[in-house]
Structure 1
Amino acid sequence: MPDDKEFAFLLKNTWRDLQSPDVLWQLAALAVCLGLAWLLERYMLSRVDGRGEPLSATQRFGRSWLRRMLFPLSGLVLVAAARPILATFQNVTILNLAVPLLTSLAVIRFVVFSLREAVGRTSWIAGFERVFALLAWSVVALHILGWLPEVLASLEAVSFTVGKQRLSILTLLQGIAVALLTLLVALWVAGLFERRLMATAGLDANVRLVMLRVVKTALIVVAVLVALPAVGIDLTTLSVFGGALGVGLGFGLQKIAANYVSGFIILLDRSLRIGNMISVGAERGIVTQINTRYTVIRAGSGVESLVPNETLVGSIVQNETYTDTHVSASLNFQVSYDSDVERAMEILVDVAREHPRVLKVPEPKAFLVAFGESGIDLRVGVWLQDPENGTLGVTSDVNLEVWRRFRAADIEIPFPQREVRLLPPLPRVALEPGPNGAAGAPEGGNKVERPAAVLRDDSEGSFF
């Protein structure tokens, strides 16, 4: 690649070559190189798409890489190979100009590709791509015009001191660039690791999630430690920050740290999985997310509860789908004493067996629970395999069908009744006063009458 002095005269040489008929050879060589690069890209993509099978995560990654990177890289290689061959016959100013342009295009595409693979297709990626492309092309333009050394010198001249460290704008820009590059590489490697984990068969989803988060965190920490010296920050100063962080964890951040540790415990011991139906405290719902600080539980009403992981580790959690998704449900009924109880129990079993959500094995069973005040209490027990759908629908369907069949079979569902009997007045007995007004007689020795017995409520069987 030509040095900076050659780039200073590149535009003048380019204009001179454009006025010469020999420039056609350079343009033809450049067109052939770019055409071969484009044909190579089309051929490789057709080989990937022509299999007619769904692409795996690794294959999708490879196809995306080919679509973004193969053309500029192959074009750069071909132009770099054609340049010394053509240089033996004539000037190659056009090819010299094409090399930095293709290089910058490859760098821009690589950065954007890596960022998309690391963070996904978010809305801000397009804006970042435009800004980064503008910066990259600006640097290339300054380099071609020969102005880049003067710009870098001007940025280096503007400096300031932070403590004992002297920093300039150029140093800060270099540090930011190195930090972004290291973070980008860390996220890109984490994305590759994630795809490899997802393609691993037989590995639990929680273990995958824990490994992915640990690796991503470790890579980001390494990237930051690599980038900080480039900015001019001494890593020994982090010891003070580490001590302050330890004090903060011991006091203000204790709960947060406990939630994060509990989150890793939940993910590692696999006590909870996404899709489990659980109940903790007053919350009951399906686990939709397991994060390092909290777990999301979606109730049947659609309300999502964010439960701290410390609560899930330190309290009793009822997991209805931990090892088996089968759960039992009971439906209570009451029939009058005049009804055919055995026929009523048969109807309950038949109705429960016909419901599509009720399991055939174990089969539904009916029970005589108790002899109530108003009727005979019956219960039918059923088993369901989809507790996440709730039991209200099953209860409503079974109750409605039982009501219909009870009416057809002349089986009465009683309602509470109470019998009130009016008793005749009880006779009164006169009491003789004792000496000196004893036996509770008032002064003067008058006779006092009191009821012969206490009034009884036969309906309740108690006295008052």
Structure 2
Amino acid sequence: MEEKQIAELLIDLWSDMQQPGIFWQVGALAVCLFVAGLVSQQVRGILRRRREANPALQRGVGEEGLRRVIFPLTALLLVLVARAILSNWHHVNLLKLAVPLLLAMAVIRLTVHALKRAFPSAGWLASFERFFASVAWVVVALQIVGVLPAVIDGMELVSFTIGKAKLNLWMLIQGVLTVLVTVLVALWIAGVVENRLMRTEGLDPNLQLVFARLSKALLIVLAVAIGLPLVGIDLTALSVFGGALGVGLGFGMQKIAANYVSGFILLIDRSICMGNLISVGSERGIVSQITTRYTVLKGMTGIESIVPNETLVGSVVQNETFTDPKVRIALPVQVAYATDLEKAMEILVQAAKNQPRVMTDPAPGAFVEAFADSGINLHLGFWIRDPAEGTLGIRSAINLEVWRRFNEEGIEFPFPQREVRILGGGAPVSAPASVPAFVPEPDRGAASA
């Protein structure tokens, strides 16, 4: 509406309020809002029963948007019909004023819904929703009272120049709003595409993430490229500034750029997937999240490590579940030289077989590894198929079983021995390495003699 039309509408509305016919307008508006509320409740009930009948059915983007705008759009449609009918007998200035208000409500709800779909876990969204709603209602109020054109004229007087392009404050605000709207539409479309990709069967999860993020990035760039020219901002005027800014950011953000490129490489080549048990450097854990900048490893202690993607691409990564989840575990055991080795090795193998996590094929085996200084080193090797469950528990269980059986069979665990020779005579003394041996000071006079 033009400023003059809005002023005439307000004057006519004030005049209508002095007449009994205003009750027809108020009644018609109340009926429209009541019927819109009933329609909204019915639609919500149908959608809720549809999900209850099929629990696996997820709430889609279109369904949630419909739930938000069904009331204002239904009320707007009914008000338009009531205004057309009632205008044959009475003035309808109140209904004319209700049209932009209901339209603003629908736009606000759609915008907030798009933001929630684009940033589902953002903590600032609740505060921004109240701020955006307040600003939108202020703009509508300024438009209704006829002050908005004067405010726009004042903003157009604030002008500045960027390169060869002359801009003003109103043009800049228009550009921001247009870009915001196009970006929100792009994010909404990206959300729809992502939902479709995530529900696509037979597509690798890594490829799903790659396609979803690529589509979102391309749609955002396309939205900015479309939004700025719509308000008369020439993108070529910003090319020099954008080029200089790009060079500066390129030097200052090399690591970040390398991490993003490495993230896409990891997602595409599928060398590391969700749920893999990997070790990189001193970190070992299960891959719980892969983003375009970093990868999250959840260790066996519950601590999550954030590893930059550049580290995973440029370092040696031990992937214990890359092609085969089975891993071999080795337990060293030392026995005394007087031990019956065949009996000891039989006990080791049986202790491993008694554990349900130990695989029977390949079967566990015991080996004589070396003849050490204090005893004979034996080696117990066995395979498990679930390394993600940890290995400390099964190592402890086998060691306890071996300890118990060795004690029953009288097999001795040796301890280090050390032979100490006393200068100046005397027999050699053998003492455990863990027990300090007293060595007397040699007789210097006897030694010199």
- TM-score by length of structure 1 reads 0.82
Distance (whole Å) between structure 2 residues aligned to residue 228 and residue 337 of structure 1: 85
Aligned amino acid, residue 54 of structure 1: P
Whether the 8 Å contact between 1:286 and 1:298 is mirrored in structure 2 is yes
Whether the 8 Å contact between 2:164 and 2:237 is mirrored in structure 1 is no
Distance (whole Å) between structure 1 residues aligned to residue 424 and residue 140 of structure 2: 115
Shift of 1:323: 1.4
Whether the 8 Å contact between 2:286 and 2:298 is mirrored in structure 1 is yes
Q: Which residue of 2 aligns with 1:116?
A: 116
Shift of 1:243: 5.0
Shift of 1:232: 5.2
Q: Which residue of 2 aligns with 1:23?
A: 22
Q: Which residue of 2 aligns with 1:448?
A: none
Aligned amino acid, residue 292 of structure 1: T
Shift of 1:248: 5.5
Are the structure 2 counterparts of residues 210 and 382 from structure 1 closer, same or farther at C-alpha, using a change threshold of 3 Å? same
Distance (whole Å) between structure 2 residues aligned to residue 420 and residue 127 of structure 1: 78
What is the RMSD of the two structures over their aligned residues, measured on CA atoms? 2.8
Distance (whole Å) between structure 2 residues aligned to residue 87 and residue 42 of structure 1: 29
Q: Which residue of 2 aligns with 1:130?
A: 130
Q: Which residue of 1 aligns with 2:55?
A: 54
Shift of 1:121: 4.1
Whether the 8 Å contact between 1:178 and 1:227 is mirrored in structure 2 is yes
Are the structure 2 counterparts of residues 44 and 252 from structure 1 closer, same or farther at C-alpha, using a change threshold of 3 Å? closer
Aligned amino acid, residue 337 of structure 2: Y
Distance (whole Å) between structure 1 residues aligned to residue 239 and residue 173 of structure 2: 26
Distance (whole Å) between structure 2 residues aligned to residue 424 and residue 130 of structure 1: 94
1:366-410 C-alpha deviation (Å, 9 max, x unpaired): 233344443333222221222233322222221122111211222
Q: Which residue of 1 aligns with 2:43?
A: 44
> Within 5 Å, which residues of 2 pair with 1:80-99?
80-99=80-99
Whether the 8 Å contact between 1:45 and 1:63 is mirrored in structure 2 is no
Whether the 8 Å contact between 2:274 and 2:288 is mirrored in structure 1 is yes
Shift of 1:217: 1.2
Q: Which residue of 1 aligns with 2:222?
A: 222
Corresponding position: 1:159 with 2:159: yes
Aligned amino acid, residue 45 of structure 2: S
Aligned amino acid, residue 25 of structure 1: W
Distance (whole Å) between structure 2 residues aligned to residue 128 and residue 365 of structure 1: 64
Aligned amino acid, residue 190 of structure 2: A
1:254-309 C-alpha deviation (Å, 9 max, x unpaired): 55444332221111010111221112334332223323233333443455444443
Q: Which residue of 2 aligns with 1:292?
A: 292
Whether the 8 Å contact between 1:331 and 1:379 is mirrored in structure 2 is yes
Distance (whole Å) between structure 2 residues aligned to residue 205 and residue 187 of structure 1: 21
Q: Which residue of 1 aligns with 2:417?
A: 417
Q: Which residue of 1 aligns with 2:430?
A: none
> Within 5 Å, which residues of 2 pair with 1:334-373?
334-373=334-373
Shift of 1:314: 3.4
Q: Which residue of 2 aligns with 1:332?
A: 332
**Gapped regions of structure 2 (runs ≥ 5):** 426-449
Are the structure 2 counterparts of residues 264 and 401 from structure 1 closer, same or farther at C-alpha, using a change threshold of 3 Å? same
Q: Which moved more, 1:111-120 or 1:409-418?
A: 409-418
Identity %: 56
Whether the 8 Å contact between 1:73 and 1:106 is mirrored in structure 2 is yes
Q: For 2:284, what is the secondary structure of its paired residue?
A: strand
Shift of 1:188: 1.5
Whether the 8 Å contact between 2:40 and 2:71 is mirrored in structure 1 is yes
Shift of 1:237: 3.7
Shift of 1:245: 6.5
Whether the 8 Å contact between 2:294 and 2:307 is mirrored in structure 1 is yes
Are the structure 2 counterparts of residues 376 and 390 from structure 1 closer, same or farther at C-alpha, using a change threshold of 3 Å? same
Q: For 1:221, what is the secondary structure of its paired residue?
A: helix
Distance (whole Å) between structure 2 residues aligned to residue 141 and residue 253 of structure 1: 45
Whether the 8 Å contact between 1:262 and 1:313 is mirrored in structure 2 is yes
Distance (whole Å) between structure 1 residues aligned to residue 269 and residue 84 of structure 2: 62
Q: Which moved more, 1:157-166 or 1:45-54?
A: 157-166
1:76-126 C-alpha deviation (Å, 9 max, x unpaired): 111112211111121112211111110110111111011111111422112
> Within 5 Å, which residues of 2 pair with 1:185-264?
185-229=185-229, 233-241=233-241, 243-244=243-244, 254-264=254-264
Corresponding position: 1:100 with 2:97: no
Are the structure 2 counterparts of residues 86 and 254 from structure 1 closer, same or farther at C-alpha, using a change threshold of 3 Å? same
Shift of 1:20: 2.9
Distance (whole Å) between structure 2 residues aligned to residue 339 and residue 194 of structure 1: 65
Q: Which residue of 1 aligns with 2:7?
A: 8
Q: For 1:381, what is the secondary structure of its paired residue?
A: strand
Q: Which has the larger radius of gyration?
A: 1
Distance (whole Å) between structure 1 residues aligned to residue 105 and residue 343 of structure 2: 83
Distance (whole Å) between structure 2 residues aligned to residue 158 and residue 245 of structure 1: 26
**Gapped regions of structure 1 (runs ≥ 5):** 426-464
Distance (whole Å) between structure 2 residues aligned to residue 148 and residue 239 of structure 1: 33
1:162-204 C-alpha deviation (Å, 9 max, x unpaired): 4443322221221121121122122221111111111111111
1:19-67 C-alpha deviation (Å, 9 max, x unpaired): 333233222222222222212211121112113232534x343442232
> Within 5 Å, which residues of 2 pair with 1:134-149?
134-149=134-149
Q: For 1:296, what is the secondary structure of its paired residue?
A: strand
Whether the 8 Å contact between 2:112 and 2:129 is mirrored in structure 1 is yes
